[in-house]
Structure 1
Amino acid sequence: MKRLVLAVMAFGMMLAGAVHSAEELHNPGGIGGLESLRGASELEATRAADPMKRYPRDQGTIDSDYVYQPPLVPHTIRNYEVSKNANKCLACHSWKNANEMGATKISVTHYQSPREGQVLSDVSPARYFCLQCHVPQADAKPLVENDFQRVDALR
């Protein structure tokens, strides 16, 4: 009896797969009537790459838009390595190099252990990967319309 039930189930699955494959031949991939920020293009279709974003040079410090916002990076970070083995940001922004490089020093909070608040002699491992919080500000139009307003106290 078990063999008969298993055989019927296997035949049903095989039949469903054949029907599904026939549908794919008529409409491979498909978008199901949905449209994303990429438009109504098929997932398998190759389209031209978007133009590279432009990062204004030497735009100085960028004002914050909300309280506790991590400072934005006012320069390009193309080819910057930030990995467990190296951190290009620290070449300019560490307390040791900042004055000589004319860069902003990283905050003292980056030298504190997150749990105990203990002051460390080097950047805390929890704060080592700068690009988790700090991002460059590209000169690009928003992907979606918005009416965001800066916090009044920061104007």
Structure 2
Amino acid sequence: MRRGIFACLVGIVPFLAAGAIFAQDAPRLRGPEPFTKETPAPPMQRQVTNDVRVRRNYPDQPPVIPHSIEGYAVDLNANKCMSCHARKFTQESQAPMISITHYQDRVGNTLGGLAPRRYVCVACHVPQTDAKPLVENIFTDMDALAEPERQPQRGRH
């Protein structure tokens, strides 16, 4: 019996130690307090509301929301986003029309209305804030990655 317990402990302890090491290396996203202590939430950061379209970093990136959406209803009965972004309202609102893909089901069939999988806009489209990043951003835009390929190579003819 003792050998079984000893063997079990010998088998488990390295995994527990590895978990503690990995946990120490992970960036802390919740602040200096341990996760077991309840702390008040930090204040919400101000949304960027300048209505300026933001350049996308890669093809098919969902556009970000350049205006406040506080108080917008998106529920079973209403989708406030569609009051400006639906095709029939874009001339009045001057908002960009949602993509035709939002009217297609997952196999590409065109539907008579907004596809259920595209109904909750904020599942893909997010408002921007002036919040300080939690971790360093080392993202490189795809155009910057492609630039070296476009440069003529010197010394080769």
TM over 0.5: yes
Gaps of 5+ in 1: 1-32
Q: TM-score, normalised by structure 2?
A: 0.67
SS at match of 1:97: helix
Alignment-derived partner of residue 112 in structure 2: 121
Distance (whole Å) between structure 2 residues aligned to residue 142 and residue 42 of structure 1: 20
% same residue: 44
Greater fraction helix = 2
SS of residue in 1 equivalent to 2:92: helix
| 1:95 CA drift (Å) | 0.6
Q: Give 1:40-55 correspondences, 5 Å limit.
A: 40-55=32-47
Superposed counterparts of 1:1-155, under 5 Å: 36-115=28-107, 117-152=108-143
Aligned residue in 1 for 2:3: none
Residue type at the aligned position of 1:63: R
Residues 1:118 and 1:46: Cα distance change in structure 2 (over 3 Å): closer
Secondary structure at the counterpart of residue 127 of structure 2:
coil
Number of residues of Structure 1 aligned to a counterpart in Structure 2? 122
Please list every run of 5 or more consecutive structure 2 residues that lacks an aligned counterpart in the other structure. 1-22, 148-157
Q: Which has the larger radius of gyration?
A: 1
CA RMSD of superposed structures (Å)? 2.4
Q: More deviation in 74-83 or 38-47?
A: 38-47
